[in-house]
Structure 1
Amino acid sequence: MALQMERWAGSKLGEKAYFLMVCVDPAAERTARKFVSEYDLKHVIVGFCGAQNEYPPFPGQLGCGGLVLFSPGGRIAVPKTPSYNQIGLKAWFTADCAIATLCDEDDEGDDEEDVKHRLYRNMNELRLDLQNGGVGVIAAKEEAQSKNPTSTSVIEKEKKKALGSVPRVGHDLMDEEHEHCAALFQQLEREPSVEVFEALVREMQEHFEHEEQLLKQTGFGSASPAGLSPLITHSQDHKRIITTANAMLEAARAAARVKGKGGDFASVLRGGAKELAELFVAHATQHDSRYVEYLATF
């Protein structure tokens, strides 16, 4: 969410509206500073609530659960935009339309380039920015690479990474399960079959259940204000990924049924594996990374 907010704030919409992120977890100031540092935030305003009496007097939710939009007069115009954790990037497209409307931006008069660059168009683009430290980092590196054709493209380097591999979180069981999932992603890429896809979905489902149990047992997010626990959005993202995975699995089964009738079975499976791996890696980068320091205290 931080990177999408940064894109909005750095676009022409940022000339007409303030984009504000407020950290509310127990270590709010540290989290706010970490976000600014990790993601090189220059345009979005980042704040924090240092005490409970500083929490906003209106209902809210974490950014991945939807934004609160205010009118120019300071009234709440949209109490909750669609949730990224429920519908993915479409949530940000919908929010963009609402923000543009509140800013009196006429769609027909919008700068097409501005609209193009202020929204993430796919999960891979978001994942690359998350992993490389900020908005447009990859684009800048690619531009520099174009001036030095002998160097290896950043995108090409990313392609060489093992499918589904994620950074370690420092917890033996979680890291082991992440590796099991990655191994199945890679097996599916090598040997596309419904059986491997089914095994992958089962492994992911079990991992997500184990992860949520661990976070609940250790009290992750329990000190957060009601409705603002990071565990809520974490769990919601798990559900979104599994829903997507099950839909892909059904598509794979359908492709298997027409395999002998000219259906491109292998392409369907490999495409599904790649798309699902992008969701898995983005989840680890956005959500799992937030509990690394917390679990290190146990």
Structure 2
Amino acid sequence: MSNTNATRTSTAELQQLAAAGRWHVVETVAKSKAGHIGGPLSAMDLLVSLYFNELAIDPQQPQDPARDRFILSKGHCAIGLYAVLALRGYFPLEELATFDQGGSRLQGHPDMKLTPGVDSSSGSLGQGLSAGAGIAMAAKQLGAGFHTWVMLGDGELEEGMVWEAVHTARRFKLDNLTAIIDLNGLQQYGWPVTEDGDRFDRSNPWAGVDLEGVFDGFGWNVVSINGHEFNEIQAAFDQVRAARCSGKPTVILAKTTKGKGISFAEGTYKWHNGVATPEQLAIAAAELGQAFEGEAK
């Protein structure tokens, strides 16, 4: 298994990988004419840190029973995961060009039967933490040493099934389970409103709610970080490792920016999904330090 403390990727390298991952997201979606942008970009630094510095994995043996498991519960952000899996060596970067096409291994939502490195199919929001808790529980029963990680969106936390899993995970002392909440504070849709003529209030779904206190009250270890600061991300992972004999699951509350890294997408709900024009691709490439040779086809 790879990704030990002795082989950590430097912050500078992580920054380069995250920039490349963000570029592959926006370019791939532009080429496929469909997909999500905002969520994959907000989660990119977390995903890169996981796959290059934390998860015990081997891209050459994606089904190794000793591997750590990762579930992308917010499955509509699959292109972000695919970009990182490709960078990590699970399949060629060139395969990203097949995203969301018939017959492709890279569908619009992760499919564990198709895609190397995908440990759980996802798409219907709210289900990933329950799947992760089940995997962690099975590991306990089998005496297996792998860790299970689940990434959720903050809007996804509105699903009741999430909180059933939160309660269950602590009851069964799943200290081999970690949830990462991508708190980008912006939904595609939100609570119905009428005051301003819009159908929805898309602002922070958890404004005014003490999520730290909520998870603490459920008996979880709680770590709050800036989800774009690699040093804070790594420190959170270190705390997860330290808590693996605590009898308590851990949640990382990662404050992020939707659309992070691309000026026209940052903090804009309309880029929850969207297809960049050639002009916008040129802007994104320049901001991310990537080469762009022309119009997306």
Q: Please, what TM-score do these two structures have when normalized by structure 2?
A: 0.28
Structure (1 or 2) with the greater helix fraction: 1
The structure with more strand, counted as a fraction of residues: 2
TM-score for the superposition, normalised by structure 1: 0.28
